[in-house]
């Protein structure tokens, strides 16, 4: 376990008294029955200044949340994968606007859904092939089966696309996805999708290494993320939190038992949403972003590359890019960089924060954000599906930022 020693909040411009409001808020989530457990870690100016756990990681077994608790990251895995992809960008393997069909020919000459229902869809030729930038920004025209927004989503469900890691390899996965129509012309609309999983396969093709091996060797190990893994070994299974969903009375009801979880056994294919981690481990990645790619006296990514990742690469905000059905973010005032959201305008987003702040979350109510202007990083870990059930992230933002006094 990689817990960091805590600095006095006042040493980094935070108020101990005001941070106490975060503790009170966390307790209310447990007492009200919203959550089974929650963990929050706040760092500023390179030092952890607040780390608190509340509630139970596993209600049935009586295990409390501790700094050693392991959480399913789901989409918080995407940011890590994107950083790994940009390492290959720095090595000259591709340019952002290169078509991915250079490496996976199946993605050449795709078609785009233009109308019609499931079983009678109409399509038109894509005006161009999907690029690396499209994948990194979720403007590829790919989708998720769980969206249930159009007939293409239904095709994904029919092909079991969302079952990646359980039933198919990355090679099989991209072969299936490439045959299905896109939901929009590449580069024209933001739509949350399996884009990052396609990037996992591209990492393999470009590097010649399995995705999980590349990510571990090039990013996780150098950052000291020792508890971040695709498979929870038997000697650590008692650290894996249970995952919950709201029951009929609104209180947490078991959704995924650690003993029988797919995260407890080897996946057929590690992919872009399959990691588990601790709050302390993920904070190491946050500090990596804030330090512009620096790690222990060297750089895993160059400063300018990280700065490029943290810029908005959309023509506007998410709302202007097509009113997406689902995102781990609000839509107005939020753009998207190369692997995570970017705050463009706090007034339009109606959230406290700084322009240029980046972050993302996972479907089990995990979240992180880094604010370069305030040299601030925050990690929140919980295990409740769906993440949209309660406004946890917005509430925590207010409580974190109100504690800044210098």
CA separation for the pair 264, 259 (Å, rounded): 7
* Structure confidence at residue 324 (pLDDT): 56
Q: Which of 167, 189, 209 is the last residue of a domain?
A: 209
pLDDT at 163 over 80: no
Q: What is the mean pLDDT of the chain?
A: 94
Does some domain include residue 3?
no
274 and 196 together in one domain: no
Q: Report the CATH number that the domain containing residue 162 is assigned in CATH.
A: 3.40.710.10
Q: In this structure, which long-range contacts are made by residues 22-29, counting pairs with CB atoms below 8 Å and at least 24 apart in sequence? A: 22/50, 22/52, 22/396, 22/399, 22/400, 22/403, 23/52, 23/54, 25/395, 25/396, 25/399, 26/52, 26/54, 26/55, 27/54, 29/54, 29/55, 29/382, 29/390, 29/392
203 and 252 together in one domain: no
* Structure confidence at residue 323 (pLDDT): 57
- Please give the radius of gyration of the chain, using alpha carbons only, rounded to the nearest integer: 20
CA separation for the pair 170, 176 (Å, rounded): 10
Give the count of domains, the chain. Answer: 2
Neighbours of 161 (CB within 10 A): 24
390 and 325 together in one domain: yes
> In this predicted model, what pLDDT tens digit does every residue of 339-396 receive, in sequence order?
999 999 999 999 999 999 999 999 999 999 999 999 999 999 999 999 999 999 999 9
> In this predicted model, what pLDDT tens digit does every residue of 204-257 receive, in sequence order?
999 999 999 999 999 999 999 999 999 899 999 999 999 999 999 999 999 999
Of 162, 198, 202, the residue nearest 178 (C-alpha): 198
* Structure confidence at residue 164 (pLDDT): 64
| pTM for the model | 0.95
Q: Which of 155, 186, 209 is the last residue of a domain?
A: 209
Share of the chain above pLDDT 90, in %: 84
Q: Which of 209, 235, 257 is the last residue of a domain?
A: 209
* Structure confidence at residue 2 (pLDDT): 57
311 and 173 together in one domain: no
64 and 156 together in one domain: no
224 and 353 together in one domain: yes
């Amino acid at each position: 376990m990689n817990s960091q020693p805590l600095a006095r909040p006042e040493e980094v411009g935070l108020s101990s008294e005001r941070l106490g409001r975060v503790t009170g808020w966390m307790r209310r989530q447990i007492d009200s029955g919203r959550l089974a457990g929650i963990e929050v870690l706040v760092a500023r100016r390179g030092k952890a200044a607040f780390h608190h756990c509340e509630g139970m990681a596993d209600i049935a077994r009586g295990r409390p949340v501790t700094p050693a608790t392991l959480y399913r990251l789901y989409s918080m895995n995407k940011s890590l994968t994107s950083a790994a992809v940009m390492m290959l960008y720095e090595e000259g393997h591709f340019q952002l606007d290169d078509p991915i069909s250079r490496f996976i020919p199946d993605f050449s000459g795709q078609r785009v859904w233009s109308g019609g229902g499931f079983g009678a869809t109409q399509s038109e030729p894509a005006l161009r092939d999907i690029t690396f930038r499209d994948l990194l920004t979720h403007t590829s025209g790919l989708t998720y089966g769980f969206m249930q927004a159009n007939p293409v989503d239904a095709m994904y469900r029919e092909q079991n696309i969302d079952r990646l890691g359980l039933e198919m390899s990355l090679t099989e996965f991209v072969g299936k996805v490439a045959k299905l129509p896109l939901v929009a012309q590449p580069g024209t609309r933001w739509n949350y999708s399996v884009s990052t999983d396609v990037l996992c396969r591209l990492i393999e093709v470009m590097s010649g290494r399995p995705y999980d091996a590349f990510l571990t060797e090039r990013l996780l190990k150098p950052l000291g993320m020792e508890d971040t893994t695709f498979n929870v070994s038997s000697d650590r299974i008692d650290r894996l939190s249970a995952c919950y969903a709201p029951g009929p009375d609104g209180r947490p009801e078991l959704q995924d038992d650690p003993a029988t979880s797919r995260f407890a056994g080897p996946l057929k294919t590690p992919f872009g949403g399959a990691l588990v981690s601790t709050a302390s481990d993920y904070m190491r990645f946050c500090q990596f972003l804030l330090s512009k790619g620096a790690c222990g006296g060297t750089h895993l990514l160059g400063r300018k590359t990280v700065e490029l990742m943290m810029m908005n690469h959309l023509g506007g905000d998410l709302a202007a890019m097509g009113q997406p059905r689902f995102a781990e973010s609000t839509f107005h005032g939020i753009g998207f960089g190369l692997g995570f959201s970017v705050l463009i305008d706090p007034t339009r987003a109606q959230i406290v924060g700084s322009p240029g702040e980046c972050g993302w979350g996972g479907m089990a109510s995990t979240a992180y954000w880094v604010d370069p202007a305030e040299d601030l990083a925050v990690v929140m870990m919980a295990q409740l599906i769906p993440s949209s059930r309660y406004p946890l992230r917005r509430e925590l933002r207010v409580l974190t930022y109100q504690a800044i006094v210098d």
